Chain A
Amino acid sequence: MNALEAPDMDILSTTIYVLLVFFSAIISVMGSLIFISFLTRRKIDVKEEIIYNRNIGLALVLASFIWTLGRMCLESIKPIMNSWYSNFASGFTVKTGFTFAFGVMGALLNALIIGIITVYVSLKVLMVINKDIDEWERIKQENIAIAIVISITVIVVGMFFESIVSYIVSLIFSYQY
């Protein structure tokens, strides 16, 4: 039987994969909420605007942030799993286990940072182009048109940048071992 076909390997790998997806979801949602409050300089209470005022514009922008950060985190899962299987095939020890755990943290942090930079750059470009418009104020006034433009810009710029993430994560793991 191949080392990769052992039943305990199946359970472990699936658990790690599920955990990674779960952490990616948490990181993308939490990161987006924190980052959007930072960008609006806490002028807008995001939760209140979305839940009580039903501000669709703000919900769209937040959704685009979550999408972008989520994609970045998901992009780093494949290289992490690649490293996991290589480790397991070469014999798993406590030391390699710790190195792997640090690698995972580094990879997810890297995805979060790149995601935030991407979102920030795309928003900054839009704000430089439209100097005379205060986008956040307009979104607060439920201007959905501006929200659509912002969210699509963030998603498209994110699509360009997401390919970088997997390369960086592969680099992190290749330096580690």
Chain B
Amino acid sequence: MKKQWVKVLEIVALFAMCCTWICLNSWFSRCTHDTSKGVKSRFLAPNGVYRSPLLDADAGKEDDDIPKENPITRTFKWADHAKINRETVFHIDTEDLKKEIRKFGTSHAVSHPLALKAKGFLVVGRKDYFENEQLRENMISMIDYRQIFQRNLSYFKKKLTAELMKSEGISQVGEVLYPFLCFIQHIRYEIPPRLYKGKFINAFFVPLVLLYEQYGDCDSKAILLADFLCSIPGFKEKTALVLIRGRSLSHAILAVKGIPRPGMTALHDMKKGYYLVMETTSPGWGPGFVSRRVTDALKDGFFHFVELN
């Protein structure tokens, strides 16, 4: 009889443990994913989610703390692939920087796709939901990388690329890939804020702002590298931004069209051919080499390919 009771108690204990586990699990997931804020994403920003009063309060203050000097000088100290220390000085026109800051980011809740496009965002989906017995719609937008890349090309062609090539002593197009990648890798890695000068920028710095602030994250650095590469006279290779999301990884790398050598990682497009991957976040990775985690995520297809040119 006692043995039977012990068995029953064991089952009850097991059931109680399962219930506790489920409760803890749901509580934990509620804490980590705040459902009231929709799907949080590094690349996708559901519109209407970020209606912070801070945005409206700070609107129009974007130019306040930009230095009055013209042009603004930014110096980068870095080591190239041959471990030679180099110094690159960029001269950024204040007006151009202000224009660029004004062009990207929303200072208030914008929902119209065209208005979002004008502010550097692209509507990629809609999500309907019920609130107070009314059907509402949330717009899901992402940064319009292609537009930002193409907008900056002419400015880079005119000024910045020549300055970078001069600091590296490069004269030929064929020599640029390694040094340019090294330069970008040596820029300090830090995730930009979600709000910058009173505007929602979804943690992305446009190339000019990145050079001005002297730091950036994966997608900001990848677009900067694309702008530098494509603004070189004679550089005709296609570039694309690869947004990786999966295998607990949220990352962005640049892909440049080229033939992979033995051991390199590349993405293959049936029509356009091979694209070499470029890791921009940390030094030491050459063209066609990325970390194992990134390779695994690419192999499993957890990526989105954004063609830039």
Which A residues have a C-beta under 8 Å from some C-beta of B?
Answer: 1-5, 9-10, 13-14, 16-18, 75, 77-82, 84-86, 89-91, 163, 166, 170, 174, 177
Contacts and interface: CB of A to CB of B under 8 A. Distances in A.
Interface in B252-270: 258-259, 261-264
A81 B262 contact: yes
Contact of B289 (A5, A16, A78): A78
Nearest to A75: B292
Contact of A82 (B82, B258, B286): B286
Interface of B: 80-83, 174-175, 177-178, 258-259, 261-264, 284-289, 291-292
B175 A170 contact: no
Instruction: Tell me if A's interface is mostly helix, strand, loop or mixed.
Output: helix
Nearest 3 interchain pairs by C-beta? A81-B263, A90-B82, A17-B262
Nearest to B293: A163
A163 B81 contact: no
A1 B284 contact: no
Given A90-B178, A174-B284, 7 more contacts: A1-B174, A9-B261, A16-B262, A79-B289, A90-B80, A90-B81, A163-B292
Given A10-B261, A17-B263, A86-B81, A5 B174 contact: yes
Contacts of B287: 4, 85
A81 B263 CA distance: 6
A174 B79 CA distance: 13
Contacts of B83: 90, 177
B113 to A, nearest CB: 41
Contact of B82 (A4, A13, A91): A91
Given A10-B261, A77-B263, A78-B289, A2 B81 contact: no
